[in-house]
Chain A
C-alpha cells in the first residue's frame, strides 16, 4: 500500500488579496492538505501483481520482462494512492447514483472473502446513500481494499479519493456486529467529507472526521435499523452514535475543544474523542435543536456549495446558518465546538404529595387551633415539585416529560440559554407523578450521562433483581469450578 507519498500540490488559502500557501507538514493524526488536480500516473509493477489505484485504468502494457506498465487517470482529486499485491482477488458490484453507475471493487485475500462480501454491500450502500443525501458520487469507480488482518493496523481504515482501505475483519465480528461495515461506510464517506469537501484536516480535523461520523450514523441506521445500527447480535443491540458516546471518555474530561489543530491535542485519545465522537454528538444535538429535516437540508446545501473547494469551520457554520434562515447558532457553536465540556443534565429531585388544607398549630390565644391530619385529610389533588439541573457548559434547550399514574403525560420545555442552571417545575394534578424524563428521545448527545436524565419516583427493583439472579447463577458456576 502506497499512500501519503506523492508530492502534494499546496493550497492557496485566505481572503482575496491576502492569500498564503497552506503547506503544513504531514502529521500522524491527520492527512496532507492538498489542492485538486488531474493525475496521469504510470506504475511499473510485476505482472503477477493485482493493482488498485486512484482513478481509472486507461492503459496496460506488457514490458516483456515480467513487468507491466499501468496507466491511471484521475480528475478532480487531491491525492493519489495505490496498492499492489500478488495474492489479492477482486469482487465487483455496481452502485446506482444519479448521473450514472459507479463500479465498486473490493480487493481482498481469498481467506477474507466472507468479509469482502460485507464490505462490498456496505460500500455500494454507502455510495448510494451519501449520493442521495448530499451530492451524487462524481467518479466512475470506487476501490475498497480489505488489507490482510496483520496489515490492517498500519494500512487499514484510510481514505483517498476513489480508493479507501477498510478494516475490522475478525472472527468476533459476526454478521450482526456491523463494525467492519462501519469502517467501510466511514472511509467511503470521506469521499464527500475530504474527497470533495477538501478541508484542511491538519487544522480542522473535525470537518473531515466528525462531520463524516455524523453522516455515517445516518447511513448505518438506514441500512441496519436505528436500534441495532452498530450491533444487533444474539439479543444485544447498540446504536452507533449512542454506543460511541457511551464508549468515549466523559466530555468534561477531554481538555481540548473540537476546534483544535491536530497537533494541538494533548494526546491521541483526546484527538479522537474530540474530533470524531464529540463532533458527531454535537452535530446530532444541533440537528435536534434546529429540526431534523431543516438541518439535513442545510447539510446538503453546504456540500453543494463547497464541493471541490476547501471549506473551513467558519464556512461550515456560515453555510448552516444561512440555510437555516439566518438563525443565530453561536450560543451553541461557540461552547460546543470551541470550548470544553458538554451538557450535564439531570433530574435533581422530584416529589409528589397529596394536597390538603394547612395542618399544625394555627392562630393565637382563643383562636389557637391544632389541625391534625384527621381534621385536614389528604385531598384528591397532588402537589408535585420537580427540579432539573444542568451543570454543563452548553445550555441546550430540552423537553421534560412528566408521566402520571393515570397514564397521562405532560411535556415542559426548558430553554436555559439566557438564565440559570436549574429549573423548578411545580404543579398540582389529580394524579400523582410517576416518572420524570429529560430529553425523552435521548437526542442531547453532548450529555454523556443520560442515566440521571430519567427518574421514577417509586423504586422498581425488578431489573436489579433479574441482574442479581443472573449474577447468582454465574457466581454458583464459579463456586462449582473453584470449590466442591
Chain B
C-alpha cells in the first residue's frame, strides 16, 4: 500500500481495519475482557460482602434493592460507612484498571500493529508490547493530567453557565439541551484530549522500535497537532464514544420495569450485562485497532542526526 493511498484513509477504512483486527484476534479481545470482568466482578463481590455484613440480617435492605426509595435512604442513614466503603471499592477498582490499561493498551496496539500469527506469537507480542511501553505510557499519563485539568475546568465552567437554565427547566428538552450545551466544551475538549492521548500511545508503540528518542512529551505534542489536523481521527473516536453511550442508555431504558428476580432472573441479568459489556469492549478494541491503521499513515518523527567523529 503506497503512502499516498494510506493518507486518504477515512473513518470507514479505520472501522473496517479495526473490525478485521478484532475478529482476527478474538482470543486477545476475550482475554482482556475477562480480566476486566474479573476485576469488576471482584469489586462487586467486595461490595456485596460489605453490604451483606451490614444488611444480610436486615430485610429492609431487600426492599431498598427492590426499588423502595425510602428504604434505600433509611439504609444509607443506618450504615453510611458501608455505602462509603462500597463507593471506594468501586473507585479503587476503576483506578486499578486505569493503571492496568497502561500495560494492556500497549499490548493491544502492538498486536494490531505487528499482526502476529498464532496464539503463542500473539501472546508474546501482546506481553512484549505492553511491557516495553508501560513506563513511557505512565509518563504520558502524568503529562496528560494537565490536559485533564483543562477538561475539568471546561466542565465546571460549562455546567456553571447552564445551571440557571437547568434549575428552571420545565421540559426534558429544556433541561437536556442546556445540559448538553454546558457539557459540550468539556466533551469536545475531552474527546480531543483522549483521542490525542490514544494517538500518542499508538505512535509510541508503532515508532519506538525505530525512533527510541521519541518520548512521551514529544509524542503527546505531535498527537495534539495530528488530531487537530486530521478530523478523521476525532470523528472515528467520537463515533466509538457515541456507540458506547447509545448502547449503555439503551440498556438503561430497556431495563426499566424488569426486576428480574429469582435465580433465573439473576442469571439472565448477568448474561445481559456481560454481553453488553463485551459489546462495548469490542467497540473500544475496534477503535484502538483502527487508530493503529491511521497511525501507520503518519509520517514518522524526524530522527536526531548524530555526527560521528572520524
Interface residues of A (CB under 8 A from B): 111-112, 114-115, 148-150, 169-172, 231, 234-239, 242-243, 245-247, 250, 435, 437, 448-452, 454-484
Do the beta carbons of B65 and A466 come within 8 Å of each other?
yes
CA A170 to CA B169, docked complex, whole Å: 6
Contacts A171-B174, A454-B60 given; does A472 touch B40 at CB 8 Å: yes
- What string of 1s and 0s marks CB contacts (under 8 Å) between B40-74 and chain A? 11011111110110011111111011111110011
Chain B 95-113: CB-based contact to A (< 8 A → 1; otherwise 0)? 0011011001100100000
The answer for the CA separation of A169 and B284 in the assembled complex, in Å, is: 41
A236 touches B52 (CB 8 A): no
Q: How far is the CB of A181 from chain B (nearest CB, A)?
A: 16
The 5 closest A-B pairs by CB, nearest first: A472-B44, A468-B48, A459-B56, A476-B40, A464-B52
Asked if B67 and A459 sit within 8 Å, CB to CB, the answer is: no
The answer for the CA separation of A451 and B72 in the assembled complex, in Å, is 10
Most B-side CB within 10 Å, residue of A148, A235, A451 = A451
Partner of B77, one of A111, A148, A238, A250: A250
Closest CB in chain B relative to A473 CB, distance in Å? 5
Q: How many residues of B contact A (CB 8 A)?
A: 69
Most B C-beta atoms less than 10 A away, residue of A112, A458, A476: A476
Beta-carbon contact of A471 and B170 below 8 Å? no
Q: Is the CB of A246 within 8 A of B256?
A: no
Which of the residues A449, A464, A483 comes within 8 Å of B78, measured between beta carbons? A449
B171 within 8 A of A: yes
Query: With a CB–CB cut-off of 8 A, which chain A residues contact B226?
Result: none
* 13 A-B interface contacts by CB (under 8 A): A234-B257, A237-B67, A239-B70, A452-B78, A460-B56, A463-B65, A464-B48, A464-B52, A469-B270, A473-B44, A479-B36, A484-B100, A484-B104
Whole-angstrom CA separation of A456 from B168 in the bound complex:
46
CB of B284 within 8 A of CB of A484, answer: yes
Contact with A473, one of B40, B48, B65, B108 (Cβ below 8 angstroms): B40
CB pair B58–A455 under 8 Å, yes or no, is: yes
Q: Which residues of B contact A483 (CB under 8 A)?
A: 36, 94, 97-98, 100-101
| Contact of B43 with A472 in the complex, beta carbons under 8 Å | yes
Partner of A475, one of B43, B73, B281: B43
B257 close to A235 (CB less than 8 A):
yes
Contact of B57 among A148, A456, A484 (CB under 8 A): A456
Shortest A113–chain B CB gap in Å is: 10
B48 x A475 contact (CB < 8 A):
no
Given A171-B175, A467-B48: A480 and B281 within 8 A (CB)?
yes
In the complex, the answer to whether B172 meets A463 with C-beta atoms within 8 Å is no
Residue B32 at the chain A interface, CB threshold 8 Å: yes
Contact between chains at B44 and A468 (CB < 8 Å):
yes
Task: Assess whether B6 is interfacial by the CB under 8 Å rule.
Answer: no
Could you tell me the distance in whole angstroms from the C-beta of A114 to the nearest C-beta in chain B?
Answer: 8
Task: Given A464-B61, A475-B93, A480-B284, verify A469-B256 contact (CB < 8 Å).
Answer: no
- A243 B70 Cβ-Cβ under 8 A: yes
Q: Are B73 and A457 in contact (CB under 8 A)?
A: no
Which among A171, A473, A478 is the interface contact of B94 at CB below 8 angstroms?
A478
Judge whether B147 is part of the interface by a CB distance below 8 angstroms. Answer: no
* Given A169-B170, A469-B44, A451 contacting B94 (CB threshold 8 A): no
Task: Say yes or no: A149 contacts B168, CB within 8 Å.
Answer: yes
Is B239 interfacial (CB-CB < 8 Å)?
no
Chain B residues with CB under 8 A of A477? 248, 277, 280
Distance between Cα atoms of A196 and B257 in the complex (Å): 44
Contact A479 B266 (CB under 8 A): no
Structural contact, A451 and B75, CB atoms closer than 8 A: yes
A186 to chain B, nearest CB (A): 19
Quick check: is B181 within 8 A (CB to CB) of the other chain?
no
Determine the distance from Cα of A483 to Cα of B280 in the docked complex, in whole angstroms. 12
Bound-state CA distance A172–B175 (Å) is 8
| Contact A452 B256, beta carbon cutoff 8 Å | no
Closest chain-A Cβ to B77's Cβ sits at a distance in Å of 7
Residues A484 and B51 in contact in the complex (CB < 8 Å), given A449-B77, A459-B57? no
Partner of A454, one of B58, B70, B172, B259: B58
Complex alpha-carbon distance, A77 and B277, angstroms: 64
CB-nearest residue of chain B relative to A471?
B47
Check A171–B170 contact: CB distance below 8 A.
yes
B280: chain A residues within 8 A (beta carbon): 477, 480
Nearest CB of A to B190, in Å = 10
Interfacial chain A residues near B43, Cβ < 8 Å? 471-472, 475
Q: A475 and B170: CB pair below 8 A?
A: no
Cβ–Cβ contact B78 & A451, under 8 A: yes
B225 at the interface (CB under 8 A from A): no
A461 and B175 form a contact (CB under 8 A): no
| CA–CA, A479 and B36, complex, Å | 8
Is B269 located at the chain interface by the 8 A CB criterion? yes
Q: Are B45 and A468 in contact (CB under 8 A)?
A: yes
Contact B170 A479 (CB under 8 A): no
Flag if A236 contacts B67 (CB, 8 Å).
yes
Pair B101/A484 contact, Cβ less than 8 Å: yes
A169 vs B174: C-alpha distance when bound (angstroms): 12
- Residue of A at shortest CB range from B276? A473
Besides the known contacts A459-B52, A479-B94, 18 further A-B residue pairs in the complex with CB atoms under 8 A apart: A246-B77, A449-B77, A449-B78, A451-B60, A452-B78, A454-B58, A456-B59, A461-B48, A461-B52, A463-B62, A464-B56, A466-B65, A468-B46, A473-B40, A473-B277, A478-B94, A482-B98, A484-B97
- Asked whether A451 lies within 8 Å of B61 as measured between CB atoms, the reply is yes
Question: By CB atoms of chain B within 10 A, which of A234, A236, A448, A484 has the most?
Answer: A484
Instruction: Judge whether B60 and A450 touch: CB under 8 Å.
Output: yes
Query: Which single residue of chain B is at the shortest CB-CB distance from A449?
Result: B78
Instruction: Find the residue from B40, B75, B281 having the highest chain A CB count within 10 A.
Output: B40
Contacts of B248 on A, CB cut-off 8 Å? Answer: 477
Q: Is the CB of B69 within 8 A of A237?
A: yes
* In contact, A450 and B48 (Cβ under 8 angstroms): no
Task: Give A341 to B68 CA distance when docked, in angstroms.
Answer: 26
Chain B hits for A246, CB < 8 A: 70, 73-74, 77
- Residue of A with least CB distance to B93: A475
CA–CA, A467 and B269, complex, Å: 12
Q: For the complex formed, measure the closest distance between the CB of B222 and the CB atoms of chain A, giving whole angstroms.
A: 22
B86 at the binding interface (Cβ < 8 Å): yes
Residue of B nearest to A112 (CB): B170
**A453 CA / B90 CA spacing, docked (Å):** 30
Measured between beta carbons, the chain B residues less than 8 angstroms from A242 are 70
List of B residues within 8 angstroms of A465 by Cβ: 48, 52, 266
Min CB–CB distance B271 → chain A (angstroms): 12
Q: How far is the CA of A473 from the CA of B67 in the complex (A)?
A: 18
Q: Name which residue of chain A comes closest to B60, CB basis.
A: A451
Chain A residues whose CB sits within 8 angstroms of the CB of B86 once the complex forms: 471
Q: Once the chains are docked, how many angstroms separate the CA of A100 from the CA of B208? A: 89
Tell me which of A114, A459, A467, A480 contacts B65 (CB under 8 A). A467
Q: Which residue of B lies closest to A247 (CB)?
A: B73
Contact: A243 with B69, CB < 8 Å? yes
> Which A residues lie within 8 Å of B66 (CB)?
463
Interface centre among B43, B47, B58 (most CB of A within 10 A): B58
Measured between beta carbons, the chain B residues less than 8 angstroms from A472 are: 40-41, 43-45, 47
The closest CB in chain B to the CB of A460 belongs to B56
Separation of A461 and B58 alpha carbons in the complex (Å): 10
